[in-house]
Amino acid sequence: MSQSATRKSNSSLVLTATAPPDGVFQSAKVFEAIRAGLAEEGKELVNRIKGVFAFKVTGGRDGAEGLWIVDCKTGTGSVEFGGKGKPDVTLTISDVDLLQLMSGRLNPQQAFFTGRLKLQGNMGLGMRLKEFQTKFSGKL
């Protein structure tokens, strides 16, 4: 796996790789579940969601940050770590909060209004995050 790391001015580690290193992000299993779900029923999900999500995950091990692009707009969908695609909506959330959100232990509305979940871009598409929650929360 090719990987490089750079330090931002606030000394957090920003990872750029084709896949996140093992153990850096607890929420990596969320994206593995989404990837597996897209492999099984991607065409159906793409027809329902019709959008590209960027998940900017903060607070990984040693302050690492990562970016996952979940494309539910073309073909049967895809999940890419460190992707360069143009998202319709960007969600910024901590590693722990993302895991809790997707497993149903954190209310999305509460997370948004308390500042734990930040949305940029198409807010309506951001509301379709529930599609992932209901489909994959049992697999986490």
- The 10s digit of each residue's pLDDT in 62-103 is 888 999 999 999 899 999 998 888 999 999 999 999 999 998
Q: How far apart are CA 56 and CA 92, in angstroms?
A: 5
Number of separate domains in the chain? 1
Residue 55 makes CB contacts below 8 A (sequence gap 6+) with 31, 67, 68, 69, 70, 90, 91, 93, 98
More confident residue, 29 or 137: 29
C-alpha closest to that of 53 among 121, 140, 111? 121
In percent, the amount of the chain with pLDDT more than 70 equals 81
Q: How far apart are CA 53 and CA 70, in angstroms?
A: 5
Mean pLDDT, range 35-43, rounded to an integer: 88
Confidence (pLDDT) at 2: 36
Has residue 136 got a pLDDT over 70?
A: no
Is residue 36 a part of any domain in this protein?
A: yes
Confidence (pLDDT) at 100: 92
Q: How far apart are CA 62 and CA 73, in angstroms?
A: 33
| Beta-strand pair 89-94/51-58 | parallel
User: Tell me, what CATH number does 125's domain have?
Assistant: 3.30.1050.10
| C-beta neighbour count of 106 within 10 angstroms | 19
- The 10s digit of each residue's pLDDT in 15-31 is 444 567 777 899 899 99
Is residue 1 a part of any domain in this protein?
A: no
Q: At 127, is the pLDDT very low, low, confident or very high (cuts 50, 70, 90)?
A: confident
Q: How far apart are CA 48 and CA 132, in angstroms?
A: 11
Is residue 14 a part of any domain in this protein?
A: no
Is residue 38 a part of any domain in this protein?
A: yes
Residue 99: which domain range?
27-132
Average pLDDT over the chain, rounded to an integer: 82
